[in-house]
Amino acid sequence: MAVADPMARLSLLGGFEFAGGVAAPAFTRKARAMLAYLALQSGHSHSREKLAALLWGDTGEPQARMNLRQALSAVRKAMPSANGGRFLTDGDGITLTLDDLDFDVARFERLADETAPEQLEQAISLYRGDLLEGFGLKEEPFEDWLRVERARLRALALGVLEKLVAHYFAANRLASCVQAAARLLVWEPLREDIHRTLMRAYAAQGRINLALKQYDLCRDALHRHLHLQPEAETRRLYEELRARRTATDRGVAANAGTVAASTRPASPSTHYVKSAGSNIAYQVTGNGPVDLIYVPGWVSNLDLAWASPRLAHVLHRLGSFCRLIRMDKRGTGLSDRNVGLPTLEERMEDVRAVLDAVGSTRTVLFGSSEGGSMCMLFAATYPERTSALVLNATYARGIWAPDYPWAKTGKQVEEELAEIEREWGEPADLSNAAPSLMNDAFEREWFAAFLRNSASPADAISLWYWSTKIDVRGILPAIHVPTLIVQRTGDRWVKVEEGRYLARQIPGAKYLELAGDDHVIWGSGSDRLIDEIQSFVSGTLPMAPAERVLVTLLCVDIAPPSTPAAADGRAAKHPLQLQEDAIRGQLQLADGREIRWGADGLLAVFQRPTRAIQCAIAIRDGVRRSAPGVRCAVHIGECERRVDDLHGAAIDRTRRMLDHAEPGEILVSGTVRDLVPGSGLAFEERGGATMGDMPEGLRLYAVGGVAA
């Protein structure tokens, strides 16, 4: 009897995703459409004739019914239930039951009917995008149904956001109100009532310029789409806020030693781009001749960054010689929250999505603190997109190790986490981040507000702990773009030895030590830091795309059974050949690229290590009943690209890892394991493996289940 997989889930919001445990079956597009249609009406019976006409109406009834049977068979095999009754048939009727399956639309609809903000936040976090976003069929009946369902679910999501905006504003939770209102306006930019609420929320935070900027956005949207002016209530609110800003400007200008508020421009517009179902916030300022993206450490908030005169000064200086692109990483600031712990590669792909959105094809990556780790991975993975790399106060490993003794110990991390939880929301202790600003009351108050609006206490703790799991040492030699490493000699969070280590490991890197104790880029000596970056960027000539690239490699092989040749003397087929269609199907689903397929197994390449591991799991689970000797190895390393082929020692190492794998086992190198914290994958240590070209060998780990 089939046993339901407690991990099985079906996700239709933001695209189609089905996972039975960790394996993803290769459904056809019509089978996906059929499954979505039945799932949205779970528990209701549908005639075979209706389903066949819905999806195969142009093929004739006999062929349509045959196609329906094949699709039902494929889905039934991939979706067993605890009692074997996932699909119920009654004469000509077909009913799909999803009682023991995690279905995102059903959860979203249940949570959307609630009133508690916690449940509403859960609902909106499930709404990663419209129903089957990006999916379509040339079948008019199905498209008509899909349009209606998309509109219905989007209306539910808008209702959730409306309830959140009203609740947060009434409860004076202004940062949450701003976030919910801004997201609602992305979908419905003509909602004048929401524009007004957002203006009032900004004003209550003391961000009058942002409130006035919101009026401009409202006015422009109404004029562009409807050729109308804002309502009288909106215009009155605008005039009140403008009068308040004028009075504030006069008071601030009269206060000696401060910068006149009238000289401070409003923060730039915030835009969003979708990346793997999450909305990533970004801003663009400056008009210099080169593109530079700044990736901050830990947590950030694009809008509140401009509220600090010191940080705003740094951002304006960067924008004086480049087009400055800034983003809030997923889970922080104005980007989607409650998205779980990210992997380093997910954040890397978020950066790529932002660069694509602004049309930047070659970019200087400027990473500070933890943000530098992801920039290093991006530079190694996408050298053709990276014109230069700038690292400030950046580390290669987040926690102490015998061969990396400068990082924090486990005990120090626990103490830091306890301090974050204890002091979150109070005036910030800058003794480590910026000792030179400890006696600046404004900076301490601003930094505390900046942190509060960047993450919740629980998220801040989780992200801090996650950052200690980073280890990018294995990819540093694969960075072949012009690199500048800047390190403060007295930095209390990232020791000077860590900057020197990066300089030794990254080929051709320029290393610069500056005097001072401040970790943040807007601390003491910030102008010298920007001077050095400007000099480096201006003197860096554009490079041709590198021929050496960092890739994740997957090798798959199946140990042949010890059976004699066929009676007619012909050699038996290699087991890998017998599973060719199934394996290639999983490779396509995981966006892998086949490099070679021969007697020594399959070699495929991926841009993301978790994709390679997930593909290996899907291949193993899909073929091990008929081919129990399947073995997989995943490694990441440099390869030389020659047209569509790859060569290099990393390929040989990956193949040799297979020699250490037991039948049914997936081995990954320590380099791969160190790059996927937050992926939910668990690993069991298998010791070291000697490699002829690597005296130190490779650390090997077997892929286990899902991490607890």
Looking at residue 79, what is its pLDDT? Answer: 67
Looking at residue 71, what is its pLDDT? Answer: 80
- Res. 57 pLDDT band, cuts 50 70 90: confident
- Res. 691 pLDDT band, cuts 50 70 90: low
Share of the chain above pLDDT 90, in %: 34
Q: What is the spatial distance between Cα 295 and Cα 557, in angstroms, rounded to a whole number? A: 40
Dump pLDDT digits (tens) for 489-528. Answer: 999 989 999 999 999 999 999 999 999 999 999 998 898 9
Q: What sign does the dihedral 112-117-122-128 (CA atoms) show?
A: positive
The two structure tokens encoding residue 43: 């528990």
User: Given a cut of 80, is residue 7 above it in pLDDT?
Assistant: no
- Res. 400 pLDDT band, cuts 50 70 90: very high
Contact 281, 296 (CB under 8 A): no
Q: What is the spatial distance between Cα 376 and Cα 368, in angstroms, rounded to a whole number? A: 11
Looking at residue 63, what is its pLDDT? Answer: 81
- Give the lowest-confidence range in 255-259, 283-287, 462-466, 571-575: 255-259
- Give the lowest-confidence range in 69-83, 138-152, 427-441: 69-83
Q: What is the spatial distance between Cα 332 and Cα 280, in angstroms, rounded to a whole number? A: 9
Contact 667, 632 (CB under 8 A): yes
Looking at residue 576, what is its pLDDT? Answer: 65
The two structure tokens encoding residue 578: 């017998």
Facing residues of 30 across strands? Answer: none
Dump pLDDT digits (tens) for 198-222. Answer: 999 988 887 888 888 899 889 988 9
Q: What is the spatial distance between Cα 208 and Cα 266, in angstroms, rounded to a whole number? A: 9
Higher pLDDT, residue 427 or 412: 412
Dump pLDDT digits (tens) for 542-597. Answer: 444 446 778 899 999 887 655 444 444 444 555 666 777 788 888 888 888 888 87
What is the DSSP track for 228-263? -PPPHHHHHHHHHHHHHHHHHHHHHHTSTTS--GGG
Closest CA to 367 of 334, 313, 397, 326: 326
**3-state SS assignment for residue 88:** strand
Dump pLDDT digits (tens) for 108-128. Answer: 999 999 999 999 999 998 888
Phi first, then psi: give them for residue 115, nearest 5 degrees.
Answer: -120, -20
Closest CA to 511 of 523, 524, 501: 501
Q: Region 251-279: what's the mean pLDDT?
A: 63
Looking at residue 677, what is its pLDDT? Answer: 84
Closest CA to 555 of 488, 634, 610: 634
Dump pLDDT digits (tens) for 307-334. Answer: 998 999 999 999 888 889 999 999 999 9
Q: How high does pLDDT run on average in the chain?
A: 83
Looking at residue 18, what is its pLDDT? Answer: 77
- Give the lowest-confidence range in 222-231, 430-439, 520-529, 574-583: 574-583
- Domains of the chain with CATH codes: 1-188 (1.10.10.10), 195-266 (no CATH), 271-396+473-538 (3.40.50.1820), 548-706 (3.30.70.1230)
Q: What is the spatial distance between Cα 10 and Cα 16, in angstroms, rounded to a whole number? A: 8
- Give the lowest-confidence range in 229-238, 537-546, 566-575, 604-613: 566-575
Contact 145, 34 (CB under 8 A): no
- Res. 424 pLDDT band, cuts 50 70 90: confident
The two structure tokens encoding residue 179: 């976030």
User: Given a cut of 80, is residue 289 above it in pLDDT?
Assistant: no
Please count the CA atoms within 13 angstroms of the CA of 451 that sit on its side-chain side.
25
